[in-house]
Amino acid sequence: MIDIRLLEADDAATYKNLRLEALLNSPAAFPASYDEVQADATEKYKVRFQSENIHTFGAFEADDLVGVVTLEQETKKKTAHRTIIWGLYVTPYNRESGTGKKLMHTAIDYAKSLEGVEQIFLSVIIKRTTSESLFYAMGFVPLGRHRRAVKLGGKYYDEEYMIMRIS
């Protein structure tokens, strides 16, 4: 049974370990590198989890963190109607179980509950992945493409920007 909840300061070390796993398993999918995240102090995540505009949801199987996604609301007056979803990751063992979909539904529902939010943005590396298919199935539509957005090991990856209008 998978339970989804907002992460708290006490989850910071576990979250950092899962981020490192994500960067080992899917390095092109995330803008940060393994070395950059490894160098981050756990305190950085404790502060983030206490932020009023950044909401990171964790998927737990028993006491194990097996997936995460972050929803970030813009803070400037002119852009406060926008949120961004980023950092979706599910451990390989828990993929194909609906965990990613459950995390995304939770983040989208939370965005809908935020006052004034009208749009949810995200970006995905174009590799015809399960994540990409999930975003389309959930109602996100393409907004634009950034060619050669990520460079890893001498290889370039394109990134697609997507949007879901919620009001």
**DSSP strand pairing (82-90 vs 119-125):** parallel
Q: What is the pLDDT of residues 45-77, one digit of tens each?
A: 999 999 999 999 999 999 999 999 999 999 999
- Assign 14 a pLDDT band (cuts: 50, 70, 90): very high
pLDDT at 129 over 90: no
- Assign 128 a pLDDT band (cuts: 50, 70, 90): low
Average pLDDT, the chain: 94
> What is the predicted pLDDT for the residue at 70?
98
Mean pLDDT of the 3-31 span: 95
**What is the DSSP annotation of 15-55?**
HHHHHHHHHHH-GGGSSS-HHHHHHS-HHHHHHHHT-SSEE
Answering whether pTM is above 0.85, one says yes
- Assign 86 a pLDDT band (cuts: 50, 70, 90): very high
For residue 71, the cross-strand partners are 55, 85
Domains of the chain with CATH codes: 2-165 (3.40.630.30)
Q: What is the pLDDT of residues 137-146, one digit of tens each?
A: 999 999 999 9
Portion of the chain with pLDDT greater than 90, in percent: 88
N-to-C CA span, the chain = 32
Mean pLDDT of the 151-159 span: 93
pLDDT at 161 over 70: yes
> What is the predicted pLDDT for the residue at 111?
98
- Assign 31 a pLDDT band (cuts: 50, 70, 90): confident
Q: What is the rounded distance in angstroms from the CA atom of residue 70 to the CA atom of residue 88? A: 7
> What is the predicted pLDDT for the residue at 127?
78
